[in-house]
Amino acid sequence: MKILVPVKRVIDFNVKVRVKADGSGVDLANVKMSMNPFDEISVEEAIRIKEAGKAEEIIVVSIGPQQARLTELPQSVRDNLIDQGLLLKRLFYPIR
């Protein structure tokens, strides 16, 4: 069995969110980003399932810009327990 775990890069939960001066969105300049805490739980559970011998492969996928790579995962987890990490870059198409 293969396990597919979607993860999302979000603003760190310890950071106070600031709105841009013009009110057009969230100010992301110099803001610490991290993996969604609920996604961390999903990755940990996938690792437990693999260690129990019920799965052969873990694939982690994220969607977003280059910064959304799986850098928030600990190095030991990325190297030893996750078999593949996929980054799908976002494409925007106008809706007509």
Tens of pLDDT, residue by residue, the chain (96 residues): 999 999 888 888 888 888 888 988 888 888 888 888 898 889 889 989 999 999 999 998 888 777 777 655 666 556 667 888 888 876 666 665
- Could you tell me the pTM of the whole model? 0.74
- Pairing state of beta strands 2-7 and 57-63? parallel
